[in-house]
Amino acid sequence: MKRFLIPLGLFVVLVGFLAWGLKPGYDPHEIPSPLVNKPAPQFELSQLAAPDKNFSPLEMRGKVWLLNVWASWCVSCRQEHPVLVALSKTATVPIYGLNYKDTRADAQKWLDRLGNPYVISLFDGDGRVGIDYGVYGVPETYVIDKSGIIRYKQIGPVTPEVLSKKILPLVKELQKS
Amino acid sequence: MTIENPIGTRQFLLALAWLLLCGLAYAKEAPPLAADEAVEKRLVSISEEMRCLVCQNESLASSQADLAHDLRREIRGLIKEGKSDQEVMDFMVNRYGDFVRYRPPMKASTYLLWFGPFVLLAGAIAALIVYLRQRRGRVAEAAGSTLSADERRQAEALLTQHESENTQ
């Protein structure tokens, strides 16, 4: 009987590792961002709707805001879009868009058709600002606090669950401070 | 047995050589990858040390993902600005974290990764030593004891039985 204990123990350990790998919500593609709790990288980009007007995150000092990286070619962005549109209607937190590696015409058409949840969308045609923010898969969403520090990064679409369990509680807390 | 060959080996080889030569005549010399060969060489040597963020089992040098193209463009720019390899690596790590490096740095969170295998090895060696010591004890014990008359008879019975089976 005792001789079965060792293989049984090893099997239990193996099952433990496998269960850990299958944990719901565990995505090996999710890479923890080194930018969380660091100042949001500065940039100066033209606005999607008004190419002659620029925007810089400095203008957002003193406000908690979301920066959502999106593109008209991105399938998951369509999935999260209704969530963002609904959020924008509640006016709890301003959402700014970073239109990543897109064309102005396609992006504008996409917003006209599906609704525009963004206060302003910034146009990052060559993806340089995306690289500064460590974007590696759209959509990605950053929660940035009053002093311009990134407090959370959502990789992949914002789902109603992520919004109500992570993003909104964090935003409320940051708005108080 | 020989296989019937309608053209014959010699003709076949000649035809093959002719076909290959035709190919050579059509092929052109590969165009240079970029104007600046030194920059490209450094780009490859740096980006081979980095993991592509999109296809995570490919190096940044070999990945064809869109982001990999963009990142190679950025690295090329940094090299042309005269940045050192370390500065380029820092640029990437600041944005994407240690995940981009194929060689993880030695720090508190990676001690398990670096020393884990050695800890396992030491544990296995210790277990082996304990096992061998115990076995040596058992062997010595068995060698020290003599067989009782009963056990001797049993052993002989087994041996003769074995012999008779062999002769059958």
Question: Within this chain, do residues B77 and B128 fall inside the same structural domain, yes or no?
Answer: no
Residue type, B90: D
Give the distance from residue A35's alpha carbon to the nearest chain B alpha carbon, in angstroms: 7
User: What confidence tens digit (pLDDT) does each residue in B72-123 have?
Assistant: 999 999 999 999 999 999 999 999 988 899 888 888 888 998 999 999 999 9
Q: Do A29 and B99 make contact, defined as CB atoms within 8 angstroms? A: no
Question: Is there a domain that residue B101 lies in?
Answer: yes
State the total domains in chain A.
1
Give the distance from residue B154's alpha carbon to the nearest chain A alpha carbon, in angstroms: 28
Of B74, B96, B98, nearest to A136 by CB-CB distance is B96
CATH code of the domain in which A157 resides: 3.40.30.10
Question: Is there a domain that residue B7 lies in?
Answer: no
ipTM entry: 0.81
For chain B, the first-to-last Cα distance in angstroms comes to: 45
State the total domains in chain B.
2
Rounded to whole angstroms, the Cα distance separating B60 from B49 reads: 8
Q: Do B93 and A34 make contact, defined as CB atoms within 8 angstroms? A: yes
Question: Is there a domain that residue B6 lies in?
Answer: no
Task: Give the pTM.
Answer: 0.74
Q: Which structure tokens are listed for A173? A: 């807390």
Of A34, A127, A137, nearest to B70 by CB-CB distance is A127
> Domain of B60?
37-105
Is the pLDDT at A43 greater than 90? The verdict is: yes
User: What confidence tens digit (pLDDT) does each residue in A88-117 have?
Assistant: 999 899 999 999 999 999 999 999 999 999
Q: How many CB pairs under 8 A join A and B?
A: 38
Cis previous bond, A117, omega within 30: no
CA atoms within 13 A on the CB side of A144: 28
Measured between beta carbons, which residues in chain B are less than 8 angstroms from residue A156?
A: none
Q: Hey, of B60, B70, B110, which one would you mutate to test binding to chain A, going by the most A CBs within 10 A of its CB?
A: B70
In sequence order, what are the beta bridge partners of A45?
A55
Per 3-state DSSP, chain B is made up of helix, strand and coil in percentages (nearest 5) of 70, 0, 30
> Domain of A89?
33-176
Residue type, A122: L
